[in-house]
Structure 1
Amino acid sequence: MRTRVVIQSRLNSSRLPGKALLSLAGMPLVELVARRAANTGHEVVVATSDEQYDRRIAEHLESVGIDVVRGSLDDVLGRFVTATEGLDPTDRVVRLTGDNPVADGSLIDELLAAVDASPHDYGRVDIDRVPEGFGAEVFSARVLRAAAAEAVAPYDREHVTPWIRRTGEHLFVPEDAPTDLHAYRCTVDCLDDYDRVCGAFAGVTDPLRMPWRELVARIGERVLAEGPVLPRVAGVSPVMLGSSALPQDGAALRSLLTTAVTHGVSHALLDDATARARFRTGSDPALKQRMSVVARVVLPMDASPAALDVEVERILGDLARRVDTLLLDAGDDLDRAATALGRLASYVEAGAAVRLGLALPVGAHVTAELLARVGWLHVKDADKAARLAERVGSGAVVSCDLDAADTPAPAGVVGVVPAGTPADVLAAVERAAEGAHGTGTSTRPSA
């Protein structure tokens, strides 16, 4: 039985254009990925597009003796069929992507063995349980060809395996793989990732044969040397960024957000148009994708549906329609808040926001009916937040304002910190980690 590794790669990445040919460990990234995949003897072919600019990938790979095929930019499934011509139906195909240089032949071998021992024809590394950068899939040439014949949806054609996954799958977690998804992130999706992975390969005498476990450990060591990485409960970290201290300078803001994302901070609370503008112009697309937003919606004096819609559309426009929570601030008027939440529900139904939230004034009494309509509650006062958290349990996220980065939030409450520098972020993370773990350190648990 043959195994052929197919690596998809292109130059028009939206977040880091041209990354396939960025130099890493003395060679273009795509070449490093291909050579590491072949380091235990597997056949390897790179499948790139037939767009004019991707000839740069093809010409380089051909010049160094790596097989390459070209096909439709959007029909990646079709590219894989071309790349696997000549295989018998029972031969195996391994899918990798050209931005994951840590994966190697031994990781492929582990995945193959796990799928061979399972009843499934398809298996993959469980990317929900390991950091980004471990993505690898295996399936037979037969099932690949069946998918190509049956799959018609553009999503299925572009992403290769969704049609196959719907027939059943084996999920695999490599032994000793880190489960801290942030400290050990090892893909190359943005410039910060590129810097991190370059650091892991720096000084390595044999980058083609360096075991993946050692490379991943080097990545995590650099992150954890700065400070711990926060755990998350239902996708929310115990501390989040407030907008009052966000720096105006773009470089300073990018540094702050990079530190926050790398150390597990999940959300930023943006209070107004100024904060939204800074967040929009000061963070690159990859950072904004990894940092969720809670956007405060101040109820207009004219509380008509049209006025509220104008305010929400302005917020969504500022944030490129990427909002986790619409946090309604109606002041003391909870009757108007109830009416406005009914209007805002349409934005959740349309997918413009994940959930609704409510900012509460100190001393306000909130009915159980109103609480049941929101997934996030914010109050300024920490004691009030603690009592509210006890009342709602796991039914909603409860957050409160903190005066300084080193101020602790009550148990079960998310602290909103006024962080203006990476040092502020790390201080807040350190304090939150102590509360979450009873220690200021982060560990690398086994799977």
Structure 2
Amino acid sequence: MKSVAVIQARTNSSRLPGKVLLPVKGMPLVVLAARRAANTGRQVIVATSLETTDDFLAETLQIHGISSYRGSLDNTLERFVTALEDYNDETPVFRLTADNVLPDGALLDEIEQYFIEHHLDYLCCNGEKSGLPYGMSVELTRLRHLRDAAASTTCKYDQEHVTPYIRRKFGEYYFEKYRELSKGHFRCTVDCLDDYLAIQQLFSDIDDPIQVSAFTLVEQLGSCSYQPWQRIPARKLVLGTAQLGMQYGIANLSGKPDQSMAEQLIKSAIANGAAFIDTARAYGNSEEVIGTALRSGWEGRSRVVTKLSPLTHCPVDGNQEVIDAFVDASIYASCSSLRMQRLDVLMLHRASHMTDWNGAVWKRLLQHKAKATFNALGVSVQSPAELELALASPEVGFIQMPFNVLDWRWDQMIPKIIAQKQQRDVVIHVRSALLQGLLPSKSCEYWQKANAAQPENIMEWLAEQTQNNGKTSIADFCLSFVKSFSWVDGLVIGMETLDQLAENVKILCGDDFSQQEIASILATRPKLEENSLNPSCWR
């Protein structure tokens, strides 16, 4: 039974309108995708809509001799089934999309062979479970299952995404032949302008874009813009952006990056695994910097954690109505600056605001959460007492706390953190893992500003531990120590240059310390006074 590949395509994509018609090596993206899928002789049909916005797309396909079908814009499932009405029920049907041009006939042949040999009803290939980049997306099922889905479901999500009904019925089975390639955190789809430029770059030196192997292209992806630098993603990286909005950090010599550099940092961090970006109303114009960087089609690739205004100008005797106004103003200013209708995560900048003004701030935030003004609520804490308060509040889903290799203040709280994480969903982000850049510093002047009485002893201990634990730098040692704790979900790390980002990504992708190594480190660490551990006390 011969298989057929159906490529869904439309012109009215929201992030990059008309992307399927953008040229790569002299041919529209949709044409390149179709010809690559057909390069071993497979029948390929491009399924687009009857909307007038797709008239030129249909004409383009006809000019290039690509078989096409036009049907419902919103009911893509129906479009697939109707396009294949002359085919047998048992026909294996590939689902492809026009914004993914890397899949070729040879890959489809391998997937089809595996599908038939294992008597499967559904098989997919994409992302980390397949070891292949996001954008090497292929789904394979039988036509009868598509027909059954079209007749059985009225769910708009099922109709738009074609295969959810089938996946629920038969389960998701992944093609894992290339899992050991470990390229699942790479990206080769075209969703925004940066993606398109990367695909143009990828094909720029290719003589035959139709016949070149998908795996040749995958191996060359690393040379393209905004691709990972390491074999694995830096999953615990949280990009701190105080430096992007103002001068920040005791050892910051580079200064505040301009918008261009800030965008490169933000996008490169996301490409390397940063699932969160951390900011605040109080971080200068960092929210505006982030909003501008993400508006080019990067929205949703990383969650933004912002913090409520410190409310320093809010009157101490303000009533609920006054407090509501201050809270609302901060939230809506964040939405405007970040260009978001709904915030991902909103945190209190000061844990005391949970109880200040007779709990008026917290009450207003809970009202906003009930209205879905933001998806999650969190608290930034400074002390063990504040952490205990946050852990005791079931509404708190995110906690940010300072923690580093010299910070002994949290020793008694760690078991409580672990216990709470076992009982409910609470994400713990750690800041000051380098104590605002102080720990890697070899300047006695900086240490003295931080109230350290005997900085030479501390610097010597840090250097010894770095060497004894086989780390390349003090920063490597300090970050590796913090990330080795299982209860730490993310490290908020600020940086001003791509070199700093690359070094931090490399460290976070390195091996964790064992429990024995952590115990050995803790057994010898010097005592740093609390007024040195709290930057607000520095001179």
Q: CA deviation at 1:188?
A: 1.2
Q: CA deviation at 1:46?
A: 0.5
Match of 1:288 in 2: 299
Please say which of residues 242-251 and 103-112 is displaced more in the overlay: 242-251
- 2:324 maps to 1:306: yes
Query: Which of 419, 427, 443 is 2:503 aligned to?
Result: 427
- For residues 416 and 369 of structure 1, the distance between their equivalents in structure 2, rounded to whole angstroms, comes to 19
- Is the contact made by 1:362 and 1:384 (CA closer than 8 Å) also made in structure 2? no
- For residues 224 and 245 of structure 1, the distance between their equivalents in structure 2, rounded to whole angstroms, comes to 19
- For residues 92 and 342 of structure 1, the distance between their equivalents in structure 2, rounded to whole angstroms, comes to 56
- Is the contact made by 1:94 and 1:137 (CA closer than 8 Å) also made in structure 2? yes
Match of 1:441 in 2: none
1:26-425 alignment, distance < 5 Å: 26-127=26-127, 129=129, 130-177=132-179, 178-182=181-185, 184-222=186-224, 227-228=229-230, 231=233, 236-246=235-245, 249-272=258-281, 274-298=285-309, 300=311, 301=314, 302=318, 304=320, 306-307=324-325, 308=327, 311-316=330-335, 318-319=337-338, 320-332=340-352, 335-336=355-356, 339=359, 344-345=365-366, 352-362=373-383, 364-367=385-388, 370-371=391-392, 373=394, 374-380=396-402, 382=404, 383=407, 387=411, 391-393=416-418, 396-401=427-432, 402=434, 403-404=436-437, 407=475, 408-409=478-479, 410-411=482-483, 412=485, 413=488, 414-425=490-501
- Is the contact made by 2:355 and 2:362 (CA closer than 8 Å) also made in structure 1? no
- Is the contact made by 1:37 and 1:105 (CA closer than 8 Å) also made in structure 2? yes
- Is the contact made by 1:330 and 1:337 (CA closer than 8 Å) also made in structure 2? no
- Is the contact made by 2:11 and 2:20 (CA closer than 8 Å) also made in structure 1? yes
- For residues 46 and 122 of structure 1, the distance between their equivalents in structure 2, rounded to whole angstroms, comes to 21
Please say which of residues 193-202 and 342-351 is displaced more in the overlay: 342-351
Secondary structure at 1:399's aligned position in 2?
Answer: strand
Provide closer, same or farther for how the CA distance between residues 327 and 89 of structure 1 changes in structure 2, counting only shifts above 3 A.
Answer: same
- Is the contact made by 1:293 and 1:322 (CA closer than 8 Å) also made in structure 2? no
- Is the contact made by 1:223 and 1:262 (CA closer than 8 Å) also made in structure 2? no
- Is the contact made by 1:90 and 1:141 (CA closer than 8 Å) also made in structure 2? yes
- For residues 25 and 174 of structure 2, the distance between their equivalents in structure 1, rounded to whole angstroms, comes to 28
Q: CA deviation at 1:271?
A: 0.8
- Is the contact made by 1:240 and 1:268 (CA closer than 8 Å) also made in structure 2? yes
Q: CA deviation at 1:237?
A: 2.4
Structure 2: which 5+ runs fail to align?
A: 246-255, 441-474, 515-539
Structure 1: which 5+ runs fail to align?
A: 439-447
- For residues 57 and 194 of structure 1, the distance between their equivalents in structure 2, rounded to whole angstroms, comes to 18
How many percent of aligned residue pairs carry the same amino acid? Answer: 31
Letter in 2 for 1:429: V
TM-score normalised by length of structure 2: 0.71
Secondary structure at 1:287's aligned position in 2?
Answer: coil
Provide closer, same or farther for how the CA distance between residues 203 and 132 of structure 1 changes in structure 2, counting only shifts above 3 A.
Answer: same
- Is the contact made by 1:356 and 1:375 (CA closer than 8 Å) also made in structure 2? yes
Residue correspondences, number: 434
Provide closer, same or farther for how the CA distance between residues 121 and 381 of structure 1 changes in structure 2, counting only shifts above 3 A.
Answer: closer
Letter in 1 for 2:96: L
The structure that has the greater radius of gyration is 2
